[in-house]
A and B are shown apart, each in its own frame.
With several copies, the nearest count.
Chain A
Amino acid sequence: MNFDFSDDQKLLKEQIARFLADKCPLKVVRRVLDGNEAFADEVWKGLVDLGVPGIGIPEEYGGLGLSPLELCVAAEEIGRVAAPVPFDTSVVLATEALKLAGSDAQKKKWLPLLAAGKAIGTLATAEGAQTPRPSNVRTLFGGGRLNGRKVPVADGEVATFAVVLAKNSLVLVELAQKGVARKGIETIDPTRKHCELTFTDATAELLGAEGEGWRLLERLYDAAAIYFAFAQVGGAEAAMYMARDYALQRFAFGRAIGSYQAIKHKLADCYVKLELARSNAYYGAMMLTDGGADLPLAAAAARIAATEAYDFASKENIQTHGGIGFTWEADTQFHLRRARVLALSIGGPMAWKDRLVTRLEQKNAA
């Protein structure tokens, strides 16, 4: 039984954690919240120096060629500090999409740039406030040209390219061209910038075979669900300990509020959800690494548990803080916002629960 990360992986985790604790305290997240930066540049550069974007990229494409497990530990630490960097977009979604569906030429072109932090990629699927379905996606690709509108797109304003869902296919489109208009939009989480992308006869190319978009997206989301789960586990743990620390030092009626069962049991519930999420995330990581048959089921379980854990911890962290936790000055808000963005960005829990049961039915039928 070896259901844990290796010592090397733990060392990498500590290294990243140390870097982020030093360079990405929550005041950096606040700077992005209140300012106009696309993301925290120096944090991103540091992560690039540590090799994070290249962790999952094979050595032949300029990456470190490490396993998904190494990327999972990075995700957890980045999630823990709610780092305002294009990790979820570039390192997870775009990189994994290329690995999954890219032609050799596409991989040769983009993966080394992604690994070196010289390109930022993103994924664009939604077209407004509705779950994209084959019947409602209006963005079209044909004759090498892409037309349509995608919103919200995380990091779209600074991304080098986007992987775009066009009807039933994925296409890769470089964003610095005149067929692409980018407009920043407001969202609930100003620490992760989003935009609207409008394509007007933009030059683009298929990523993967034509008509395979939904199938590829499902596989991409399974991988992303697991990496996101680690980010959510990290964030949930941070929010829980933020609440715990406050509960130890805040006094009401002559004693620490952490001595009241209402607070104690609330935080115990945080811990319970966190450990359920962690265990499910570990299994997802293992399946991702082994390409195990349980991968789709494990991904769904990891996603559901982690979303629940982060949502709950981030909400109850504010509740534990009381009034001060609801002020703009409080650091509680970062986890609340990020939890919601991560919860919705690759489909919410309702969708994943349905998916989980479908996969369970398939497994039982097999």
Chain B
Amino acid sequence: MDFNDTPDEAAFRKEVRAWLDANATRKSDDKQSFRARNDDPELLAKAKAWQARKAEAGYARMTWPKEFGGRGATPILQVIYQQEESNYLVPLGFFDIGLGMCIPTMMAYAAPEHLKRYVKPALHGDEVWCQLFSEPAAGSDVAGIRTKAERAKMPDGGDGWVINGQKVWTSGAHYCDYGIVITRTDPGVPKHQGLTMFFLSMKTPGVEVRPIKQISGGANFNEVFFTDVAIPDSQRLGKVGEGWKVALTTLMNERLAVGLPSGGLDIDELMELARDTDLDDGPAIKNQQVRGKIADWYVQQQGLKLTRYRTLTALSKGQTPGPESSIIKIVAAPKMQDMGAFAMEIMGQGGIMKEQVPHAAGFQAQWIGGAGFRIAGGTDEILRNIVAERVLGLPSDVRVDKDIPFNQMGKK
């Protein structure tokens, strides 16, 4: 039992490190980051440049087939690349959804000529993709979407569709070039059966993107409005009415992408704060309640990191990982919220002030951001359902809407 690479992995890691040394700047310490702000246009340009270089070197999506610019490699090699890359000051994060979810969906359902047209620019960072699934009335229940697509003739006389409706929580829609969008094409059948998937240019007339400001102050997500957006039938992915099957492909890829939340403040900073801050009876670190909390969160932090190592071990052995990684966000999100709140409590009344002590703003951001993290990408409640059903084999919740045509579903 060890954390070591196999000889092949070690050789690959060495190769990657050499390439990164030659092409990027190593971080001075592991807390340093590129300070990525998704709304910085210069950052996007830098990210595109880095993505291009990476793609040229064949590191961008190593698990993809060679014909699409990959290496047909095992997932563990991709993980090793990412581990190494995380030690360098490079701008990341813009392409994860596109390459992790949208393009794999395209690969499964798009026509060869479309793959020829879209895969390479996406891989090389020339074009960024987003996923247009959630709607105001369809969050946890994605299949409850209402955005309509109706058959129509295109100006050139070809078959096409007109889309009307609204999407929400679309990451990066404001800088994306393309998106995949799930729509309702038949409201007269039960909800999972009337859906159809398309891809489209975000510059198509009638598409309007508005940023959503969050409680945390950030605005990484968007609302996207569709008003008589006309697209040709050739942009359909999968059969008409089989959009749910297509969406499951996309969402399955999302599950594989879930990793550990990285960066951000954690036990080290909490210990530092507790060492440097007095409570009523002396340094906080001497207080057994503080120590108890630190220990609990340390056990969780370590537990998640080590659980990730178990998953990587399976990948390294070419096996399918177990379901253990399904616990990650269930643990990490409340921990983020609670630890932030507790750090604020250690600071006393002054815990409400931004930027007065080294990590004040950081812990406040965890406290408030944790509230969002408990919701985004699957709420606490949905994730527990998933563990109960998929891991423990318990029955699904009673579904009252299963066999009812979508347009017959009354609210009461």
Please tell me whether chains A and B touch each other in their complex, using a CB distance cut-off of 8 A: yes
Provide the residues of chain A in CB contact with B271, threshold 8 Å: 357, 360-361, 364
Nearest neighbor of A288 in chain B, beta-carbon distance = B1
Nearest neighbor of A357 in chain B, beta-carbon distance = B291
On whether the beta carbons of B1 and A129 are closer than 8 Å, the reply is: no
Interface 9-residue window, one of A53-61, A138-146, A325-333 = A325-333
On whether the beta carbons of A253 and B279 are closer than 8 Å, the reply is: no
Provide the residues of chain A in CB contact with B345, threshold 8 Å: 343-344, 348-350
Compute how far the CA of A326 lies from the CA of B371 in the bound complex, rounded to whole angstroms.
7
Asked whether any CB of chain B lies closer than 8 Å to the CB of A22, the reply is: no
On whether the beta carbons of B312 and A3 are closer than 8 Å, the reply is: yes
On whether the beta carbons of B215 and A328 are closer than 8 Å, the reply is: yes
On whether the beta carbons of A265 and B213 are closer than 8 Å, the reply is: no
Nearest neighbor of A189 in chain B, beta-carbon distance = B352
Asked whether any CB of chain A lies closer than 8 Å to the CB of B374, the reply is: yes
Within 8 Å by CB of B1, from A259, A269, A278, A286, lies A286
B41 CB to nearest A CB, Å = 22
Interface 9-residue window, one of B194-202, B256-264, B292-300 = B292-300
Asked whether any CB of chain B lies closer than 8 Å to the CB of A15, the reply is: no
On whether the beta carbons of B350 and A268 are closer than 8 Å, the reply is: no
On whether the beta carbons of B302 and A344 are closer than 8 Å, the reply is: no
Compute how far the CA of A234 lies from the CA of B92 in the bound complex, rounded to whole angstroms.
41
Decide yes or no: A323 and B169 within 8 Å by CB, A251-B137, A254-B400 being known contacts.
yes
On whether the beta carbons of B375 and A323 are closer than 8 Å, the reply is: yes
On whether the beta carbons of A323 and B278 are closer than 8 Å, the reply is: no
On whether the beta carbons of B296 and A353 are closer than 8 Å, the reply is: yes
Asked whether any CB of chain A lies closer than 8 Å to the CB of B140, the reply is: yes
Q: Tell me the count of chain A residues lying within 8 A, CB to CB, of chain B.
A: 100
Provide the residues of chain B in CB contact with A130, threshold 8 Å: 277-278, 347-348, 350
Quick one: which of B164-214 are within 8 Å of A by CB?
168-169, 191, 212-214
On whether the beta carbons of B409 and A344 are closer than 8 Å, the reply is: no
Asked whether any CB of chain B lies closer than 8 Å to the CB of A311, the reply is: yes
Decide yes or no: A268 and B330 within 8 Å by CB, A254-B401, A279-B310 being known contacts.
yes
A150 CB to nearest B CB, Å = 10
B292 CB to nearest A CB, Å = 5
On whether the beta carbons of B313 and A3 are closer than 8 Å, the reply is: yes
Interface 9-residue window, one of B51-59, B123-131, B376-384 = B376-384
Quick one: which of A103-140 are within 8 Å of B by CB?
125-133, 135-136
Quick one: which of B1-29 are within 8 Å of A by CB?
1-6, 9
Asked whether any CB of chain A lies closer than 8 Å to the CB of B387, the reply is: yes
Decide yes or no: A267 and B394 within 8 Å by CB, A3-B310, A328-B214 being known contacts.
yes
On whether the beta carbons of A129 and B351 are closer than 8 Å, the reply is: yes
Quick one: which of B392-412 are within 8 Å of A by CB?
392-402, 404, 409, 411
Compute how far the CA of A261 lies from the CA of B302 in the bound complex, rounded to whole angstroms.
28
Interface 9-residue window, one of B42-50, B154-162, B231-239, B356-364 = B356-364
B405 CB to nearest A CB, Å = 12
Interface 9-residue window, one of A37-45, A156-164, A314-322 = A314-322
Asked whether any CB of chain B lies closer than 8 Å to the CB of A252, the reply is: yes
Within 8 Å by CB of A330, from B215, B280, B392, lies B215
Provide the residues of chain A in CB contact with B285, threshold 8 Å: 357, 361
Provide the residues of chain A in CB contact with B277, threshold 8 Å: 129-131
Within 8 Å by CB of B357, from A128, A131, A265, A351, lies A128
Nearest neighbor of A364 in chain B, beta-carbon distance = B271
Q: Tell me the count of chain B residues lying within 8 A, CB to CB, of chain A.
A: 110
On whether the beta carbons of B1 and A253 are closer than 8 Å, the reply is: no
Contact digits for B283-316, partner A, Cβ 8 Å, 1 yes 0 no: 0010111111011101110111011011011111
Provide the residues of chain B in CB contact with A345, threshold 8 Å: 349, 352
Asked whether any CB of chain A lies closer than 8 Å to the CB of B250, the reply is: no
Asked whether any CB of chain B lies closer than 8 Å to the CB of A247, the reply is: yes
Decide yes or no: A244 and B392 within 8 Å by CB, A268-B330, A272-B331, A286-B1 being known contacts.
yes
Within 8 Å by CB of B392, from A271, A305, A348, lies A271
Decide yes or no: A129 and B353 within 8 Å by CB, A268-B384, A333-B215, A354-B280 being known contacts.
yes
Within 8 Å by CB of B2, from A194, A248, A259, A286, lies A286
Which of B212, B278, B356, B372 has most chain A Cβ within 10 Å? B356
Provide the residues of chain A in CB contact with B39, threshold 8 Å: none
B357 CB to nearest A CB, Å = 4
Provide the residues of chain B in CB contact with A277, threshold 8 Å: 303
On whether the beta carbons of A341 and B352 are closer than 8 Å, the reply is: yes
On whether the beta carbons of A315 and B280 are closer than 8 Å, the reply is: no
Asked whether any CB of chain B lies closer than 8 Å to the CB of A347, the reply is: yes
Within 8 Å by CB of B303, from A129, A263, A275, A349, lies A275
Which of A3, A356, A364 has most chain B Cβ within 10 Å? A3
On whether the beta carbons of A5 and B381 are closer than 8 Å, the reply is: no
B197 CB to nearest A CB, Å = 21
Asked whether any CB of chain B lies closer than 8 Å to the CB of A264, the reply is: yes
Within 8 Å by CB of B381, from A186, A265, A280, lies A265
On whether the beta carbons of A252 and B375 are closer than 8 Å, the reply is: no
Asked whether any CB of chain B lies closer than 8 Å to the CB of A293, the reply is: no
A75 CB to nearest B CB, Å = 15
On whether the beta carbons of B349 and A282 are closer than 8 Å, the reply is: no
On whether the beta carbons of B3 and A2 are closer than 8 Å, the reply is: yes
Provide the residues of chain B in CB contact with A219, threshold 8 Å: none
Provide the residues of chain B in CB contact with A276, threshold 8 Å: 299-300, 303-304, 307, 327, 331
Asked whether any CB of chain A lies closer than 8 Å to the CB of B69, the reply is: no
Provide the residues of chain B in CB contact with A253, threshold 8 Å: 140-141, 144, 397, 399-401
Asked whether any CB of chain A lies closer than 8 Å to the CB of B281, the reply is: yes
Decide yes or no: A3 and B352 within 8 Å by CB, A275-B324, A304-B296, A326-B372 being known contacts.
no
Provide the residues of chain A in CB contact with B380, threshold 8 Å: 319
A56 CB to nearest B CB, Å = 15
On whether the beta carbons of A262 and B349 are closer than 8 Å, the reply is: no
Asked whether any CB of chain B lies closer than 8 Å to the CB of A69, the reply is: yes
Compute how far the CA of A135 lies from the CA of B266 in the bound complex, rounded to whole angstroms.
29
Asked whether any CB of chain B lies closer than 8 Å to the CB of A31, the reply is: no
6 CB contacts below 8 A, A to B, read: A272-B387, A340-B341, A341-B352, A346-B349, A349-B345, A350-B288
Nearest 9 interchain pairs by C-beta: A254-B401, A276-B303, A353-B295, A129-B350, A264-B388, A279-B306, A129-B347, A328-B213, A348-B345
Write the residues of chain B forming the contact surface with A, with a CB cutoff of 8 angstroms: 1-6, 9, 76, 134, 136-137, 139-141, 144, 168-169, 191, 212-217, 267-268, 271, 277-281, 285, 287-292, 294-296, 298-300, 302-304, 306-307, 309-310, 312-317, 324, 327, 330-331, 337, 341, 344-345, 347-357, 360, 364, 367-368, 371-372, 374-376, 379-381, 383-385, 387-389, 391-402, 404, 409, 411
